[in-house]
A and B are shown apart, each in its own frame.
Chain A
Amino acid sequence: RKEVEQDPGPFNVPEGATVAFNCTYSNSASQSFFWYRQDCRKEPKLLMSVYSSGNEDGRFTAQLNRASQYISLLIRDSKLSDSATYLCLGGGADGLTFGKGTHLIIQP
């Protein structure tokens, strides 16, 4: 099965800082990418889709780098409430695969 890899972290970041993490994928034919957020003991919730041209939603920016086969998530002006696990979902016609997630901790 095609791989989607993430650094598990944890990323410990002070409140107000900017943080970015990546998700690499092995299948060069992958076309669909998404970022999810998962709080402890809750289900994953869609944060944003990742378009070829990039995608921005408030403090969150997602980008796709096809040449290096990764997607990124940038969080600006981080809030305590951003503490969560961030999962990427990616793939193509042969199916979508989740990464194992990156654990983010925003510290006051």
Chain B
Amino acid sequence: DVKVTQSSRYLVKRTGEKVFLECVQDMDHENMFWYRQDPGLGLRLIYFSYDVKMKEKGDIPEGYSVSREKKERFSLILESASTNQTSMYLCASSLAGGHPYNEQFFGPGTRLTVL
């Protein structure tokens, strides 16, 4: 079974703090993704990576950065947390290649609250 883990289930930070969210997958997947999910807005893609040290902006990259130094690990960084970044953050991974191999597998999510 694919396992995607995230460093924290719940996190509370203060406005202006630098926040690191870590994601690790154990299935040697090439692709990794960071989403945020908010009521009524669905899953929105922040950044994704298709290889080590590679990154691509998703739909809402502003206020975020990412790091992928190892294939199994993809980090999301909030340089200066703001209250509008309070959300559920979901990491996912997938194999490269076409259907059906590119289904995405999700971690349990990190519920981040910025005060």
Q: Which residue of B lies closest to A8 (CB)?
A: B40
Q: Which residue of B lies closest to A90 (CB)?
A: B99
User: Does chain B have a CB within 8 A of A61?
Assistant: no
CB pair A100–B107 under 8 Å, yes or no, is no
B107 cross-chain contacts in A, Cβ below 8 A: 43
- The answer to whether residues A98 and B106 also contact, given A32-B100, A33-B99, A49-B100 and a CB cut-off of 8 A, is no
Q: Which of B48, B59, B102, B108 is in CB contact (< 8 Å) with A43? A: B108
CB pair B103–A98 under 8 Å, yes or no, is no
Per the 8 Å Cβ criterion, residues 50-102 of B in contact with A are: 59, 90, 98-100, 102
| Total A residues in contact with B, Cβ cutoff 8 Å | 21
Q: Tell me what chain B mostly uses at the interface: helix, strand, loop, or mixed.
A: loop
Per the 8 Å Cβ criterion, residues 7-39 of A in contact with B are: 31-34
| Total B residues in contact with A, Cβ cutoff 8 Å | 20
Q: Tell me what chain A mostly uses at the interface: helix, strand, loop, or mixed.
A: strand
User: Does chain B have a CB within 8 A of A44?
Assistant: yes
Smallest CB-CB A-B distances: 5 pairs: A100-B42, A32-B99, A43-B106, A49-B100, A98-B43
- Residues on A lying within 8 angstroms of B by beta carbon are 1, 31-34, 42-46, 49, 51, 87, 89, 95-101
Given contacts A32-B98, A43-B108, A44-B43, 13 further A-B pairs with CB under 8 A are A31-B98, A31-B99, A32-B102, A34-B100, A34-B103, A42-B108, A42-B109, A43-B107, A44-B106, A46-B105, A49-B103, A95-B48, A96-B102
